Amino acid sequence: MSRRRGFTALLAAGAVALTGCTSGTVADTRSGGEEGLPTADLVFSSVEPDDLTGLAEEALPDDYAVPVEADYPVIPNAGALNERLAEALDQRIDNFTAVTPSAKGFESDWEITAAANGIVGVRIAWTEQGAEGEHTGSETHWYDAETGRAAYSTELLAGQEQLEALNDLVLAQSEGEEAADGALQPVLGLYDSMAFNDDGDLVVEFDAEQLAPENEDRTGAVIESADAAPLLSDLGTRAQAASQEAVEGFTLDEAVDGGGENLPVPGRMEDWTESVDCTRADTKCVALTFDDGPGARTPELLDTLAEYDAPATFFQTGRTIDRYPETVRRAYAEGHEIGNHTIDHPDLTTLDEAGVREELAPVNEQIRRETGSVPVLMRPPYGATNDTVAEVSAALGLAQILWNVDTEDWKDRDAEIVAQRAIDGAEPGAIILMHDIHGTTVDAVPSILEELTEQGYTFATVSQMLGETEPGELYYSRGRPTLPPESGPDA
């Protein structure tokens, strides 16, 4: 006998279980506070695992730095999905242990949110246990038997514009802090768990504390079926229909093409930002870089960059990402590149290999947590690097980005002087060093953009300007012999 189940009754009864399978820790679904996005209506459609023929359960090996109980379903003929789930859990655990020094344990459980029309949706709910308590969250992945591909939740939507439109709809439902501080951004890191309810409404859920530290429970939004429909991709439309179907004895045919194709993923900005071709002789590219932030005035800087349609690169530290995570998401969502500038800004050449790794690896994971993407660039504090720094950077997939124009904005807190140094130093291929933690630098940027635009420069992120970079390699600028930078004490 097939049975589809909503969780409304369970929620009303105050139950905390949100699970389609046997045991384990699952998402906490208590109602949230008075303000902000709701929690109580965040109910996905659900399918009994028994109604998927041959479904089995596997667990990741318990060989992480902390005890792990991470189960995931294995669905016959959905190889790409099964692999994706194992990989997503593995990444999640690595992320948790890297960003949480007090990590104690990790548990996860799963449920099937839809299984019909050659479509399967699987929601993974996890609990991270640390010294300061538990933190819950979830992600939902999809499978399309027509292509054999596993899909992220944002692929339910037709593209980046539709994700931006959805973000606006969610924003309209938000009355609390999320709206005020720009925490809601159309990035994969936020929109990683979406599915439909029994009525075909699109349900979006955000992890506890993801939008605001005071959100101890998950938050999210329910977008009416009719409002969601115009935003959906073909996969999304079929998933919406599948979510409303009764399921019994579901099976999948073997995929025809094995799902090898990589498609652009909404919310993963490198897939959507416009490419800048700095190799053309008639294109004068320059890369503005801002270190040590985000800072209190970085949002103002982002407004200015948006006004001039000027992408930039931000090398951010772990401490400041912790303080202004919403600014990291916003910068990324607006097409800027986020690079790794260590947790605590030490001189990395004074550290051994383990020390360098401890400074860099967690920041990669912090950036992935906020944006959904791992950075490919790092900048060593003070420009200080050596073979050990190069080796660890290479192992972490990070090219080392220095600069050939130093505005010395940390020393001269004078917007006119800073602007003049940037303008005087600009040349095709230049990487210009600034710091967005200084108000005088934020004040200098409008005239830099104005003047360099007038001189015919194209602004590019470092990766747009350099093209594909080699992890571990040092870069000072584009298309010029490498020059050692004049290291300042506050680079």
Task: Indicate the residue whose CB is closest to Ni ion.
Answer: 291
- Binding region for Ni ion (CB under 5 A) out of 44-52, 268-276, 286-294, 416-424: 286-294
- Residue nearer to Ni ion on the CB measure, 231 or 328: 328
Strand-pairing partners, residue 187, are: none
Residue 199 a catalytic site member: no
- Minimum gap (Å) between residue 376 Cβ and Ni ion: 18
Among the candidate windows 80-88, 148-156, 287-295, 406-414, which touches Ni ion by CB under 5 A? Answer: 287-295
Amino acid found at 257: D
For this structure, is 435 an active site residue?
A: yes
Contacts of 155 (CB under 8 A, 6+ apart): 142, 233, 235, 236, 263, 265, 266
411 alpha-carbon distance from chain centroid: 34
Distance CA 172, CA 376 (A): 34
Q: DSSP of 174-237, one letter per residue?
A: --SHHHHTT---S-TTTS--EEE-TTS-EEEEE-TTTS-TT--S-EEEEE-HHHHGGGB-HHHH
Of 75-83, 292-300, 399-407, 475-483, which segment contacts Ni ion by CB under 5 A? 292-300
Q: Specify whether the CB–CB gap between 284 and 458 falls below 8 A.
A: yes
Count Cβ atoms within 10 A of the Cβ of residue 291 and give its class: 0-12 exposed, 13-18 middle, 19 or more buried.
buried
Q: Of 78 and 402, which has the nearer Cβ to Ni ion? A: 402
**Which lies closer to Ni ion via its Cβ, residue 184 or residue 491?**
491
Q: Is the Cβ of residue 106 or residue 290 nearer to Ni ion in the bound state? A: 290
Query: Which helix or strand (DSSP H or E) is residue 447 part of?
Result: helix 439-454
Contacts of 201 (CB under 8 A, 6+ apart): 222, 223, 224, 225, 228
Is 51 a residue that touches Ni ion (CB under 5 A)? Answer: no
Residue 359 is a binding residue for Ni ion (CB under 5 A): no
- List beta partners, residue 286: 430, 459
Rounded Cα gap, residues 172 and 180, in angstroms: 11
CB of 341 to Ni ion, least distance (A): 6
For residues 358 and 344, the answer to whether their CB atoms sit within 8 Å is no
Question: Least separation, in Å, of the C-beta of 490 and Ni ion?
Answer: 6
Total number of residues binding Ni ion (CB under 5 A)? 4
Q: How many helices (H) and strands (E) does the chain have?
A: 14, 20
DSSP state of 238: H
H or E segment and range at residue 46: strand 46-47
Nearest approach, Cβ of 379 to Ni ion (angstroms)? Answer: 7
Rounded to 5°, angle at Cα 14 from 10 and 19 = 45
Question: Shortest distance, CB of residue 436 to Ni ion, whole angstroms?
Answer: 11
292 binds Ni ion (CB under 5 A): yes
Catalytic one among 135, 141, 435, 438? 435
Is the CB of 205 or the CB of 406 nearer to Ni ion?
Answer: 406
In degrees, rounded to 5, the angle at the alpha carbon of residue 270 between the alpha carbons of residues 300 and 325 is: 40
Shortest Å, Cβ 148 to Ni ion: 45
Choice among 192, 291, 292, 409 that is catalytic: 291
Pick between residue 200 and residue 380 the one whose CB is nearest to Ni ion.
380
Among candidate residues 418, 413, 182, the one with its CA nearest the CA of residue 303: 182
Site string for Ni ion, 472-491 (x = CB under 5 A): -------------------x
For residue 318, the minimal CB distance to Ni ion (Å) is 12
Distance of closest approach, residue 56 Cβ to Ni ion, in angstroms: 50
Applying CB under 5 A, the span of 44-52, 94-102, 252-260, 376-384 interacting with Ni ion comes to: 376-384
What residues between 381 and 400 interact with Ni ion by CB under 5 A?
381
Task: Pick the piece of the chain touching Ni ion (CB under 5 A) from 201-209, 218-226, 284-292, 415-423.
Answer: 284-292
- Stretch touching Ni ion by CB under 5 A, among 26-34, 239-247, 291-299, 446-454: 291-299
Amino acid at 27: A
Answer for which of 71, 178, 192, 291 binds Ni ion (CB under 5 A) is 291
Q: Which residues are catalytic?
A: 291, 435
Which residues of the shown chain bind Ni ion in the complex (CB under 5 A)?
291-292, 381, 491
